[in-house]
A = this chain, B = another copy of it.
Amino acid sequence: MYDTIINGNSIFEMSKLEAESIDLIFADPPYYMRTEGVLNRVEGTKFNGCNDDWDKFDSLEDYENFTSQWLSQCKRILKPNGSIWVIGSMQCIYTIGALMQKLGFWFINDVVWHKTNPTPNFMGSRLNNSHETLIWAVKNKNSKLTFHYKTAKELNSENDVKKQMGSVWNFPVCSGNERLKDSDGNKLHNTQKPLKMLERIIAISSNIGDLVLDPFAGTMTTGAAAKKLGRKFIMIEADKKYCEYGKLRLDSIQFEDSNIARAEFDKKPLRVTMPEMISAGFFKVGEWFLFKDGRKIAQLSADGKLSFNGKIIDMHTCAASAKGLKAKRINGFDVWYVIRDNQLVSISSIRENFREKLNLS
């Protein structure tokens, strides 16, 4: 049962789903904003924020109870190595985050959505609230995380410079053409999230073909991003109107194949061993392994380890030891060189040659 929109109560509908069946959950729950009265702009027009009934709760305890219930269902249906993302603002995210930790979710990152065009504070009564917070967690401390590090780096490209993606993300609020309108031309939903943000989340923390759940689906942005990136989805939404518009939206979207969708940048190179390379003639037993500065340090043994000061140890441990580091091991492929045609050659580049030969055959 997937690629469906379920019109119903989030907690109840989740309770019917199978345990450990979901790869990725994105949750955009009610924020419990606790606004009162009307807020007028400086010009005297009314500011139309989020004053929906679904955002009203009787008390903090009431909200905690609600939050605890839907989070518990999420924990139950999430696969052992699945991820959950929750978005919230200052009014709710601390309640949510604290309950998540109590339930045993293990935090990977908290991410700040820095809005490039936030609503200003009309009254100058506090700092302009220009961000929302996302919590990224896995089911428990021992979960094996899906994180496409190099895909993230690729998505974080700026002027062709690719840097490690950080925990502060800049996106504009959803507006203009992207913002869904109802039949009267008014915004369909008060809290539609940017598609780009959902695409980023799904791309870096799930695999193609995975099953994505959004328990508070609203305008179905999560489903839209999931479908576009080739993931399956289940969207739960209590409001019938949103479900109807959501179906139209999701039907209009197609899978768009790409290196990002398939996380090609994170594909691991073929795993090869020293003995393989020795028997293929890429290394010779007994040859010297040198530092970059040309010093002869250790000699290759038949099992692929190194002979160093009379001991046979693996090249990574040997590298750390020979460099006198406190660390037990460092990556030997970054340290060792051999002599080829009277030249120092990195063993890393020799491994590359070997991999190329394997790929060709």
Interfacial residues, chain A to chain B (CB-CB below 8 A):
40, 42-46, 60, 90-91, 93-102, 107-112, 114, 118, 120-121, 124-131, 133, 135-136, 145, 147, 149-150, 152, 164-168, 320, 323, 325-327, 330-331
Given A97-B97, A98-B94, A112-B114, A167 contacting B46 (CB threshold 8 A): no
Q: Which residues of the partner chain B approach A326 to less than 8 Å between Cβ atoms?
A: 44-46
A152 to B136 alpha-carbon distance, docked (Å) = 32
Q: Which residues of the partner chain B approach A108 to less than 8 Å between Cβ atoms?
A: 126-127
Q: Is the CB of A107 within 8 A of B130?
A: no
Q: Which residues of the partner chain B approach A102 to less than 8 Å between Cβ atoms?
A: 60
Of B124, B164, B165, B327, which one neighbours A40 at CB under 8 angstroms? B327
Number of copies: 2
List 29 A–B pairs whose Cβ atoms lie within 8 Å, in order of A's numbering: A44-B325, A44-B327, A44-B330, A45-B326, A45-B327, A60-B101, A60-B102, A90-B107, A93-B94, A94-B94, A94-B135, A95-B97, A95-B98, A95-B101, A97-B97, A98-B99, A109-B127, A110-B133, A112-B168, A114-B114, A121-B164, A125-B145, A125-B147, A126-B147, A127-B166, A128-B167, A129-B167, A130-B168, A131-B168
A43 to B44 alpha-carbon distance, docked (Å) = 60
Least CB distance from A199 to B in Å reads 16
Least CB distance from A171 to B in Å reads 13
Q: Which residues of the partner chain B approach A101 to less than 8 Å between Cβ atoms?
A: 60, 94-95
Q: Is the CB of B90 within 8 A of A109?
A: yes
Main secondary structure of the interface of A (DSSP, over half): mixed
Of chain B, the residue at the smallest CB distance from A163 is B128
Least CB distance from A51 to B in Å reads 15
Least CB distance from A296 to B in Å reads 21
Of chain B, the residue at the smallest CB distance from A204 is B127
Q: A44-B325, A109-B127, A109-B129 are in contact. List 6 more A-B contacts (CB 8 A).
A: A44-B330, A60-B101, A94-B96, A95-B101, A112-B131, A127-B167
Least CB distance from A330 to B in Å reads 4
A168 to B145 alpha-carbon distance, docked (Å) = 29
Of B98, B109, B145, B330, which one neighbours A97 at CB under 8 angstroms? B98
Of chain B, the residue at the smallest CB distance from A153 is B124
Least CB distance from A291 to B in Å reads 14
Least CB distance from A137 to B in Å reads 10
Of chain B, the residue at the smallest CB distance from A141 is B34
A327 to B40 alpha-carbon distance, docked (Å) = 7
Q: Which residues of the partner chain B approach A128 to less than 8 Å between Cβ atoms?
A: 164-167
Q: Is the CB of B43 within 8 A of A330?
A: yes
Least CB distance from A85 to B in Å reads 12
A327 to B112 alpha-carbon distance, docked (Å) = 34
Q: Which residues of the partner chain B approach A133 to less than 8 Å between Cβ atoms?
A: 110, 133
Q: Is the CB of A44 within 8 A of B323?
A: yes
Which 3 residue pairs of A and B lie closest in terms of their CB atoms, listed nearest first? Answer: A94-B97, A98-B98, A44-B327
Q: Is the CB of B124 within 8 A of A107?
A: no
Q: Is the CB of B45 within 8 A of A325?
A: yes
A346 to B164 alpha-carbon distance, docked (Å) = 53
Of chain B, the residue at the smallest CB distance from A99 is B98
A325 to B42 alpha-carbon distance, docked (Å) = 12
Of chain B, the residue at the smallest CB distance from A149 is B124
Q: Is the CB of A164 within 8 A of B120?
A: yes
